Amino acid sequence: MTVQHKPQAARAVQVPAPMAMLAELTHRCPLSCPYCSNPVELTRKEAELPTEAWLDAFRQAADLGVLQVHLSGGEPAARRDLTELIAGARDAGLYVNLITSAIGVTRKRLEAFDAAGLDHIQLSLQGTNPEMADMIGGYRGGYERKMQAAAWIKELGIPLTLNTVLHRKNLHQLPRAIDMAVEMGARRIEVAIVQFHGWALRSRAALMPTLEQAEEASRVVAEARKRLKGVLVLDYVPADYHTATPKRCMGGWGMTGLNIAPDGQVLPCHAAQTIPHLTFDRITERPLRDIWYDGAAFNAYRGDDWMQEPCRSCDLKTKDFGGCRCQAMALAGDAAATDPTCAKSPLNAAVRAQAAEDQQGDGALVYRAFEDATKVPFGTG
């Protein structure tokens, strides 16, 4: 492919070196959460990058300036070479974080990860009891296995963050989730209200939190931050459908981090594949440095040349960067539009009306699945 090559000096935006890389090692996963951030078209095992390609990607990333790598999926533990990948990322000089459901991870494997130099684990929590967690994850018995793994992580002393995704069905469990994080010895909890792109859009009527829930969540988080100061750090992503301001897009598109998909496509954001006109370079075909500085997808929404009104003349554009490109794509049909969750978007009234309708609805959960698989809730993955 041909990409316009602009030397650094001629560029309108000074592009800093990336700080973080999300390595989506696989799309395979025992769970099938309806809000999965993987693309709707999942990559199969046969198309996954081999070990050596990942190890090379870690070295290239570290040379480029990346300091932290997040090993994610799908379920990264579905890769049999995970221990080797952890060791390789550490060797490259990276801080290695594992984002996992921990389901099916044995104590022996956790010990191997630990010995390979794993810095930190982010454990996902779908619910605070088996009924909720197994219903959301679509995997019976998953909760018990996760709790077992959490106990091992604590015994081994591997630093832990608990990751929760909250929505209408489980938002009432937030106070318990915070208590569980403390009991597990986590130093941090991520409280994220579900974001709607990809899979989650299909279950919007089942997942959309009510306005009352969104407000209650903010209250619970504020109270816990005070009460647990010095014990547990709370990182909070509030519901953007219910506020007048959109979610800020990282430090700007293509400015702080990059993602590598299981098949080696290098993405500016985990949801970038929902923007159909973007094309992505592959780590196996082009040096990472060139992809970061000159790749078409990375340059697509850097700076503000691409912005339309009302963002273009808005003071907040350097703060929120016009909101989420993927949400603009999903809701406005144009990735360069103002994020429709912004009160200044001409579509905002319609978005709010839809959200109000969705929160009354009782739509079914649509679970993520490989295209030809018939995944039934409570299957065994």
Partner 1 sequence: MTPVLPRGVRLHHDRVRDRWVLLAPERVIDLDPIGHAILSEIDGASAVGEITDRLAVKYDAPVEQIGGDVREYLAGLADRRFLDMVP
Please state the residue numbers annotated as binding site for [4Fe-4S] cluster. 29, 33, 36
> Which segment (67-75, 88-96, 221-229, 306-314) binds ligand SF4 by CB under 6 A?
306-314
Q: Is there binding between residue 311 and ligand SF4 (CB under 6 A)?
A: yes
Q: Is there binding between residue 352 and ligand SF4 (CB under 6 A)?
A: no
| Angle between helix 174-183 and 211-227 (nearest 10) | 30
Comparing C-alpha atoms, which of 353, 312, 340 is closest to residue 245?
340
Q: Is there binding between residue 226 and partner 1 (CB under 8 A)?
A: no
Residue 165 belongs to what H/E stretch?
A: strand 160-166
Which residues is 181 bridged to in the sheet? none
What values do phi and psi take at 149, rounded to 5? -65, -40
* Residue from the set 21, 269, 283, 300 that interacts with ligand SF4 by CB under 6 A: 269
Q: Is there binding between residue 122 and partner 1 (CB under 8 A)?
A: yes
User: Do the strands 160-166 and 120-125 form a parallel or antiparallel pair, or are they unpaired?
Assistant: parallel
Q: Is there binding between residue 320 and ligand SF4 (CB under 6 A)?
A: yes
Q: Is there binding between residue 198 and ligand SF4 (CB under 6 A)?
A: no
Which residues is 98 bridged to in the sheet? 71, 121
Q: Is there binding between residue 290 and partner 1 (CB under 8 A)?
A: no
Q: Is there binding between residue 70 and ligand SF4 (CB under 6 A)?
A: no
Q: Is there binding between residue 112 and ligand SF4 (CB under 6 A)?
A: no
- From CA 169, how far away is CA 162, in angstroms rounded? 19
Closer residue to partner 1, CB minimum distance, 107 or 140: 107
User: Do the strands 257-260 and 266-267 form a parallel or antiparallel pair, or are they unpaired?
Assistant: antiparallel
Q: Residues annotated in the binding site, as ranges? A: 29, 33, 36
Report the partner that residue 247 touches, choosing among partner 1, ligand SF4, none (CB closer than 5 to 8 A by kind). ligand SF4
Closer residue to partner 1, CB minimum distance, 99 or 278: 99
Position 276, amino acid: P
Q: Is there binding between residue 53 and partner 1 (CB under 8 A)?
A: no
> In angstroms, what CA-CA distances link 326 with 187, 275, 331?
31, 7, 9
* Residue from the set 30, 137, 254, 322 that interacts with ligand SF4 by CB under 6 A: 322
Cβ burial of 289 (10 Å; 0-12, 13-18, 19+) is middle
Report the partner that residue 344 touches, choosing among partner 1, ligand SF4, none (CB closer than 5 to 8 A by kind). ligand SF4
Comparing C-alpha atoms, which of 234, 221, 253, 217 is closest to residue 327?
253
Residue 343 belongs to what H/E stretch?
A: none
- From CA 87, how far away is CA 93, in angstroms rounded? 10
* Residue from the set 172, 187, 248, 344 that interacts with partner 1 by CB under 8 A: 187
Site map 229..268 versus partner 1, x via CB under 8 A: xxxxx-x---------------------------------
- From CA 30, how far away is CA 140, in angstroms rounded? 10
- From CA 56, how far away is CA 78, in angstroms rounded? 20
In 3-state terms, the chain is what percent helix, strand and coil (to 5)? 40, 15, 45
Q: Is there binding between residue 370 and partner 1 (CB under 8 A)?
A: no
Q: Is there binding between residue 342 and ligand SF4 (CB under 6 A)?
A: yes
Report H helices in 116-210: 130-137, 142-156, 174-183, 204-207
* Residue from the set 40, 53, 64, 147 that interacts with partner 1 by CB under 8 A: 64
Report the partner that residue 147 touches, choosing among partner 1, ligand SF4, none (CB closer than 5 to 8 A by kind). none
DSSP helix/strand/coil, 272: helix
Which residues is 259 bridged to in the sheet? 22, 267
Question: How many residues belong to the site for ligand SF4 (CB under 6 A)?
Answer: 23
CB of 123 to partner 1, least distance (A): 12
Q: Is there binding between residue 104 and partner 1 (CB under 8 A)?
A: no
Q: Is there binding between residue 182 and partner 1 (CB under 8 A)?
A: no
Q: Which of residues 140-159 bind partner 1 (CB under 8 A)?
A: 157-159
Place of tokens 């099916």: 104
Residues forming contacts to ligand SF4 in the complex (CB under 6 A) are 245-247, 249-250, 269, 271, 310-311, 314, 316-317, 320, 322-327, 338-339, 342, 344
Residues that bind partner 1 (CB under 8 A): 17, 19, 63-65, 67-68, 93, 95, 97, 119-120, 122, 157-159, 161, 187-188, 229-233, 235
